[in-house]
A and B are shown apart, each in its own frame.
Chain A
């Protein structure tokens, strides 16, 4: 599933290069130029693909990350 999600990301990048719409001057719903409607669809599709990424490709080694000694651990009055 993880590979499918990354495949979909690559597909989005490919679909973004919509040469077939280049000279299309039609209006969708009577007010939205085709190129704008198509790329609005790309934006929605991107959200869906990234949702799938958070479900199926989320890194599993981040739970329980805790802080170790660091430069910011010491309380400092700064104002």
Chain B
């Protein structure tokens, strides 16, 4: 059996298991929409932790983290992961628990239902719906394209009858995973999604650690064999001939070769070269990372406070205490997934392994390539299934939530009572999900989406983050008015669009908003400007407009 067929078989069995899980969970379906959409508020601490973590860790967590570390160095962990550990748990704590309690008490299924009630404004739903759906689409794109690229990188040379490079074409991977996720979401609803998320989160965490071990030991062994590994003997750096003696020894061998500083390829001299391989322009520090960009990047993780699919997951909790495990374990779970991926990414820069130009020019293929090069076919197949698991555990919640929003916030909300039967409502919901997934799939085939997907992801997260002040103020400030909310959302949308167009719609990578202060230029992430503008607009307009009515204030802020 050829290596490619083995991998495809393993992935096929894994996908079939997921569909089976969805079908099984449908047998526990209680026949109510609350059960289908919110699992009847029955999810306990462990399932909640796994589904929240699996949902927030997209393809970016595995494929993107390795690729970014390959492109930018180890600083990406500090910029993206440790900050998320602090801020995500903060959002669960200050928003999630409170929104869960109101959702359970007043019967909300979506964010829009909450905002309509809290602000006493029906029209806020019409403003928020297209914005939220519009921001979910690039998020879906990140997942779908990551899957396509990972499998493409990992099957290079295995299927020469299919493509010139011998890889499984990305569109085929994307089509298959969209179909599988659609099937188990349709059959299993929120319960199936929570179970699938838990299963997939366990799969990708375990396989991530296994991949780390295999890649570390495999890379060290190959480096010694090929005479590329070094050791310090009597103060001299000499070629190592002794094979690695275990995991720690392997880690020493590969990590000491991580270049200490960014070196531009054209400036690499013979003395800089590692063995016979020219050192690429990668680094072990954050020497070219801008401290102000680093600081303002911390606003990006606030996006989880406004993710509609996360809101829906929060509402599935059995009780408030179910949140505790998620709040505490989330930062360490991020560490378990990200540290191995970041190290794999920087090891790929060492010169211990030759990264072919088509892989080096598209860093998102690096993880797939490392897996293919340094693990056996069977394990390689399992590791690829793990990568897909991470990606699909986000897609399922997003699929379910856009269907829920369309059904609850638009179709049911604006139809007269009994206009549609339940069966029709579900058909409309599923039809909308299919339409959005189809549109996303078609978008993923475009060159713009393929080349700018992670830039688009950052812009999409910036949009969600800019709506965080609205969510926070609606919970903790009695003075928030509907006019303040409109002003905040419209300001966030306008400033976001203005800056996005200034960045040539994501074409300029790492575009920043620059200020000059005391003669030096300060670079900031666009999210900082949008976040600040949105907060100011919400607060100032709320202060200048009539206060919410007494009934609303009594409902959400009762006297203690």
Residues in A whose Cβ lies below 8 Å from that of B98: 59
- A-B CB pair tally, cutoff 8 Å: 175
Query: Contact flags (1/0) for B100-113 with A, using CB distance below 8 Å?
Result: 01001111110001
Pick from B31, B248, B327: contact of A75, CB below 8 A: B31
A43-B97 contact, Cβ under 8 Å, with A31-B252, A31-B255, A35-B286: no
Query: Contact flags (1/0) for A24-62 with B, using CB distance below 8 Å?
Result: 110100111101101110111011001101100011011
Residues in A whose Cβ lies below 8 Å from that of B423: 77-79
Instruction: Evaluate contact between B287 and A67: CB separation under 8 angstroms.
Output: no
Q: Which residue of B lies closest to A42 (CB)?
A: B82
- Chain A interfacial positions (CB closer than 8 Å to B): 9, 12-13, 16-19, 21-25, 27, 30-33, 35-36, 38-40, 42-44, 46-47, 50-51, 53-54, 58-59, 61-63, 65-79
Instruction: Evaluate contact between B31 and A78: CB separation under 8 angstroms.
Output: yes
Instruction: Evaluate contact between B86 and A12: CB separation under 8 angstroms.
Output: yes
Segment 466-503 of B: residues with Cβ below 8 Å from A: none
Residues in B whose Cβ lies below 8 Å from that of A72: 32-34, 37-38, 107, 109
Q: Which residue of A lies closest to B331 (CB)?
A: A46
Residues in B whose Cβ lies below 8 Å from that of A23: 285-287
CA distance A33 to B335 in the complex (A): 15
Instruction: Evaluate contact between A16 and B83: CB separation under 8 angstroms.
Output: yes
A39-B82 contact, Cβ under 8 Å, with A44-B331, A46-B89: yes
A22-B33 contact, Cβ under 8 Å, with A31-B251, A77-B422, A78-B426: no
- Chain B interfacial positions (CB closer than 8 Å to A): 26, 29, 31-34, 36-38, 74-75, 77-78, 81-83, 85-86, 89-90, 93, 97-98, 101, 104-109, 113, 248, 251-252, 254-256, 258, 260-261, 284-287, 289, 291, 294-295, 298, 319-320, 324, 327-332, 334-335, 339, 342-343, 346, 408, 412, 422-423, 425-426, 560
CA distance A61 to B324 in the complex (A): 15
Q: Which residue of A lies closest to B113 (CB)?
A: A71
Instruction: Evaluate contact between B78 and A78: CB separation under 8 angstroms.
Output: no
Instruction: Evaluate contact between B252 and A65: CB separation under 8 angstroms.
Output: no
Residues in A whose Cβ lies below 8 Å from that of B294: 17
CA distance A69 to B106 in the complex (A): 7
CA distance A59 to B255 in the complex (A): 45
Residues in A whose Cβ lies below 8 Å from that of B251: 30-31
Instruction: Evaluate contact between A75 and B105: CB separation under 8 angstroms.
Output: no
A22-B85 contact, Cβ under 8 Å, with A46-B331, A47-B329, A47-B331: no
CA distance A59 to B105 in the complex (A): 16
